[in-house]
Amino acid sequence: MKIDGTPYRAIWVDETDRWSVRIIDQTKLPWALDLVRLTTMEEMAHAIRAMLVRGAPLIGASAAYGVALAMRADPSDVNLAHALEVLGNTRPTAVNLRWALARMRDVLHKQPPAARTAAAYEAAAAICDEDVATNHAIGTHGLKLIAERAQSGRRVNVLTHCNAGWIATVDWGTALAPIYMAHDSGIDVHVWVEETRPRNQGASLTAWELAKHGVPHTVIADNAGGHMMQRGDVDLVIVGTDRVTRTGDVANKIGTYLKALAARDNGVPFWVALPSSTIDWTLRDGLTEIPIEERSSAEVTTMTGRALDGAITTIRIVPKDSPAANPAFDVTPARLVSGLITERGLCEANEEALTTMFRDLA
Ligand code: MRU
């Protein structure tokens, strides 16, 4: 997608040296566009852990390039195993990380050390290119849902949570891909952007993306979503996901489950957009089996923003003696999901539909 007229991906190999890896530092958005250059596997692991890069598909693509950087430094079996372990332990919930690392491992184990660097860069580039094509396909399938609702002649209001846009992937996004396509095809679409406490990926990232693309949107407090649905102001919910079980349970950013409950109570369709690399075919019960990341309590007790004098400032908003807990994801049971928007088409959130659509993967 474009930023101020210039096309970008969320991760790429530096055009000048052709080996270091460039990312957009998402901890600086929306205040600054900082294109960080990463030169080691350790720097990539830090970028994933500290969420300079984030979003399930982008975490996978970043880890793949982390392996490439490791192989450039030392292509031995020992270093390959070390890189897979370090990168694999950066974040627990998004299964795309494990998926991408398994794919890199399978490619590199077949290569002698001398051939591994080139093979790793090639495999990482393929993961990125496939992610772009996959998300484009998700967009075209999801577009039908928005286009159907636009037939009434009224503006279509879509509510989304967290950031499942192009910067959460290599390009296009998952939940936002159908919205970009609807907007670009002339459909009057408006997005309710939930701020997504505690890290505010909605307020800082989704709002930034949509504004850069010119998509009408309004940021709301997370707590406002149910009220908007009760008033009939939401036609459709579309969110992304970090892991889907073979039975259709959906892990996504904390707060997603509450929106699914509100959507069910108000008869609002609740759709989840995902590439098949987000399906964990080994799991059946999302509630007990999907690992939920616990992040620092500082993400809850503090907020960072731009002060009126222009300085980026972090302030504490919780009394200093009050502890805080920070589960970063929740699980929405399949029964609350209207359907899944995948690269192969729209799919019911249940085992039969998923294993039929993805017979070759299941
Ligand atoms: O903690 P984050 O910001 O990595 O969480 C991201 C989300 O929960 C997204 O909704 C999900 O990864 C889908 S991204 C296309």
The fraction of the chain above a pLDDT of 90, given in percent, is 100
The whole-number pLDDT of residue 47 equals 98
The whole-number pLDDT of residue 193 equals 99
CA 40 vs CA 2, 43, 89, 100, 108: distances in Å:
28, 5, 16, 18, 18
Q: Which residue in this structure is represented by tokens 């649905």?
A: 229
Tens digits of per-residue pLDDT, 295-330? 999 999 999 999 999 999 999 999 999 999 999 999
Ligand 1 centroid – CA 362 distance (Å): 23
Ligand 1 centroid – CA 167 distance (Å): 10
Ligand 1 centroid – CA 131 distance (Å): 15
Report the residue among 160, 196, 241 best suited for mutation to probe ligand 1: largest number of ligand atoms under 8 A from its CB.
Answer: 241
CATH no., domain 2-130: 1.20.120.420
Q: Which residue in this structure is represented by tokens 């002339």?
A: 186
Range 203-207 average pLDDT: 98
Q: How far apart are CA 245 and CA 309, in angstroms?
A: 47
The CATH fold assigned to 139-357 is Rossmann fold (3.40.50)
Ligand 1 centroid – CA 59 distance (Å): 9
242 catalytic per annotation = yes
Tens digits of per-residue pLDDT, 331-352? 999 999 999 999 999 999 999 9
Q: pTM of the prediction?
A: 0.97
Write the residue with the smallest CA distance to atom 2 of ligand 1: 55
Selected catalytic residue, list 131, 222, 242, 280: 242
Range 89-118 average pLDDT: 98
Mean pLDDT for the chain?
98
The whole-number pLDDT of residue 82 equals 98
The whole-number pLDDT of residue 237 equals 99
The fraction of the chain above a pLDDT of 70, given in percent, is 100
Q: What angle do CA 247, 252, 253 make, to 5 degrees?
A: 165
The whole-number pLDDT of residue 314 equals 96
The whole-number pLDDT of residue 26 equals 98
Max CA-CA distance within the chain? 63
Q: How far apart are CA 347 and CA 362, in angstroms?
A: 14
Tens digits of per-residue pLDDT, 9-31? 999 999 999 999 999 999 999 99
Q: How far apart are CA 81 and CA 118, in angstroms?
A: 18
Calculate the CA dihedral of residues 87, 25, 254, 276 and round it to 10 degrees. -60
What DSSP character marks residue 104?
H
Contacts of 288 (CB under 8 A, 6+ apart): none
45 token code pair: 């692991």
Contacts of 49 (CB under 8 A, 6+ apart): 90, 91
Tens digits of per-residue pLDDT, 104-127? 999 999 999 999 999 999 999 999
The whole-number pLDDT of residue 19 equals 98
Which atom of ligand 1 lies at the shortest distance from residue 293's CA? Answer: 1
Q: Where are the domains of the chain?
A: 2-130, 139-357
Exposure string of 94-132, with b = 16+ CB inside 10 Å and e = fewer, is bbbbbbbbebbbebbeebeeeebbebbbebbbebbebbb
Protein residues with CB under 6 Å of any ligand 1 atom? 54-57, 94, 162, 164, 168-169, 173-174, 201, 240-242, 252-253, 328
Tens digits of per-residue pLDDT, 126-145? 999 999 999 999 999 999 99
